[in-house]
Amino acid sequence: MENVAAILVAGLHGELPTFSDAASGVRSAFRLLVAVVLGAVLGYEREVRGTGAGLRTHMLVALGAALFVVVPLNAGMELDEISRVLQGLISGIGFLGAGAIIKLSADKEVRGLTTAASVWLTASIGVSAGMGQPLTAIFSTVLGFFILKLSHPLARKGRGD
């Protein structure tokens, strides 16, 4: 039994962070937290509007996108390798956005384009935060929020979000 415990401890030793890894862990946690908070800003606006993708969806999309960047960066991947991760992420977000778009055949009306676009923007904000570009992520969130909030009265009447 002691051998099993020794093997488990030895195996876990390589997985647990050391003090030298602590700064990297704090940096990663900050990036993920920034992504979640910024995703919440856009998600809140969508939630108030009563759209299909609201607060939780936007927070999760931002967190997931940031995580898809933070983990490869921490693993030492090169930027060209991370670009392939981003290509897959962008495709996946496109699939998620397509699910938010509804075509009402009786009215020949398309709804959900703004929600799909906000999910797509939220993913890019998460990537920005995950790549260590918090100011770009914050500025993009502010712009996105104002686009969603202020342009709503200007949108054509009867169009869905």
Cβ count near 26 (within 10 Å): 10
Q: Which is higher by pLDDT, 153 or 86?
A: 86
Q: Which is higher by pLDDT, 31 or 156?
A: 31
DSSP secondary structure letter of residue 155: S
Q: What is the C-alpha to C-alpha distance for residues 125 and 63, in angstroms, rounded to an integer?
A: 10
Residue 110 main-chain phi, psi, to 5 deg:
-110, 130
Helix (H, G, I), strand (E, B) or coil at 111: strand
Check: CB of residue 27 under 8 Å from CB of residue 130. Answer: no
DSSP secondary structure letter of residue 16: S
109 has pLDDT over 70: yes
- Mean pLDDT, the chain, whole residue set: 85
> Where do the domains of the chain lie?
24-154
39 has pLDDT over 90: yes
Q: What is the C-alpha to C-alpha distance for residues 79 and 132, in angstroms, rounded to an integer?
A: 13
pTM for this predicted structure: 0.80
